A and B are shown apart, each in its own frame.
Chain A
Amino acid sequence: MLAFLRKNQVSLSACFCLLLSIYILIAAARGQLKNEPLGALLMWIMRPLQTASQGAVNWITNFRENYDTLAGFRSENERLRQRIQNLEIERQKLLEAEATNRQLKQLLDFRSHLIPPGAITATIIANSAASWFQSCQIDKGSADGVRKGMAVVTPLGVVGQVVAVTPGAAKVLLLTDPNSGIDVLVQRTRSRGIVSGSLENGIVLKYMKRSEDVQEGDRLITSGMDGVFPKGLMVGTVIKVLKQHLGLFQFVEVLPAVQTPRIENVLVVTAEGGAVKN
């Protein structure tokens, strides 16, 4: 018996690790894995290294962007001039719309737009180590008031949701991860759906009936119904709508409002179910 164990000790220990992984998986899937001392220790070791490394990454990214900017300066300048003109026209329209909107709101005593009482500013210090999972780490943790389930946003829109917290850092599941799901509204028609990541198509709008009116260019905003994200935050823009011959739903591909690799700072919303003031 002892000889058998000694002869197959490597295979047996690998099998033990497999069984241990399955046990951990089951515990994690059931939500019973509350404390991870090993995870906290690893994060503690990795955090300063990641912060330093991310500094180098930011420096390289900035250098590359500066180079690109200089290289395309002339054409960019022309394009920006044109853009300013267009924006000026758009601004006039928006000012007019805003004035009308304000009057209507006063008339109806409509008070749905609230600012969440608090938000924590955090810096992204690392991205996901595996291609399968779209997540990132931020430099604020439970010691700063960050809790599991909190929404992570930028002024441009939704980034994701906090899924794990250690005292000094937190893991954020990005909108582009297949595990994510956000209740959204099509801004134009107020149709509801769920936006989720997908390995194949970036992010997609799920459960949108064939009869619903969704068009390319439609903007998607958070509905506030999930109790996590404040209402009215930009989620993305519809870039592809496909109605297949069969099936209850149409396929809607979405361009995220926030391109995560390009952002450095985020806000962690500490209050639930608020709304965003325009």
Chain B
Amino acid sequence: MRLFLLFFLAAIFVLLLQTTLLHLLPISPVVPDLTLVLCVYLGLYHPTVGAALGAFLLGYSTDIVSSRIIGLNAFAMSLVFLTVYLSSRAIWLQNPLVSSLVVLLASLVKGAALVLVSAIFVSIEGFWIGAGWYIIREALLAALLAPVVFALLRRGENYVDRFRAPAQ
């Protein structure tokens, strides 16, 4: 329950950052995709049914506050979770560089999924023209921030565990 609360608060905080403060960074219009990093973290370290649902809700929430068509990010995030979960069994994850690489690849998967689904359901003329530039910049940015976000989440989990231990 406490872990759920931790990730719920993390998701709200990350969404809040993405919709407000991160727009101050001089890299506009690209915004660091921290929700993706959170989704990858769930896929790598908490591969549960609840986490799968959490990844879906992360995408859905992003759709609510950003996208014109609901479901685009929900699909992309669910796909990222599934991909990360399936590939996590074969990856040694203790190195921050490896976690960055996983986030980079996950971001590329998300970008490709967004373009594909947009092409099918939204059919915006020439949408894909500038997409490559966005995908690469977003992926690099997410990979750069991943070790920091992972470390913060791990610290938060340790904090929750410290409270849980006396109860056990």
**Hey, which bits of chain A sit against chain B, CB under 8 A?**
9-11, 13-18, 20-22, 24-29, 33, 36, 38-39, 42-43, 45-46, 49-50, 53-54, 56-57, 60-61, 126-135, 137, 163, 171, 173, 176-179, 198-201, 206, 261
Find out whether the CB atom of A20 lies under 8 angstroms from the CB atom of B56: yes
A26, A200, A201, A261 interface centre (most CB from chain B within 10 Å): A200
User: Of B64, B117, B125, which one neighbours A39 at CB under 8 angstroms?
Assistant: B64
Chain B interface size range: 35 or more
Find out whether the CB atom of A46 lies under 8 angstroms from the CB atom of B66: no
**B52 adjacent to chain A (CB < 8 Å):** yes
Which residues of the partner chain A approach B23 to less than 8 Å between Cβ atoms?
Answer: 57, 127, 261
Which residues of the partner chain B approach A60 to less than 8 Å between Cβ atoms?
Answer: 24
A276 vs chain B, min Cβ distance (A): 26
Name B83-129 residues within 8 Å CB distance of A.
Answer: 85-86, 114, 117, 121-122, 124-127, 129
Chain A, interface SS category: helix
Per the bound structure, the CA–CA distance linking A16 and B125 in Å amounts to 30
**B168 adjacent to chain A (CB < 8 Å):** no
Which residues of the partner chain B approach A128 to less than 8 Å between Cβ atoms?
Answer: 19, 31, 65-66
Which residues of the partner chain B approach A26 to less than 8 Å between Cβ atoms?
Answer: 121
Across the two chains, which residue of chain B brings its CB closest to A57?
A: B20
B52 vs chain A, min Cβ distance (A): 4
**Hey, which bits of chain B sit against chain A, CB under 8 A?**
12, 15-16, 18-21, 23-24, 28-31, 33, 35, 47-49, 51-53, 55-56, 59-62, 64-75, 78-79, 81-82, 85-86, 114, 117, 121-122, 124-127, 129-131, 133-134, 137-138
Please judge, given known A-B contacts A13-B53, A163-B68, whether A134 and B29 are in contact too, CB under 8 Å: yes
- Given A10-B49, A163-B68, 5 more pairs with CB closer than 8 A: A10-B85, A28-B70, A43-B64, A57-B20, A130-B67
Please judge, given known A-B contacts A25-B69, A129-B18, whether A11 and B85 are in contact too, CB under 8 Å: yes
Across the two chains, which residue of chain A brings its CB closest to B51?
A: A10
Please judge, given known A-B contacts A49-B16, A129-B15, A132-B114, whether A21 and B52 are in contact too, CB under 8 Å: no
Find out whether the CB atom of A126 lies under 8 angstroms from the CB atom of B48: no
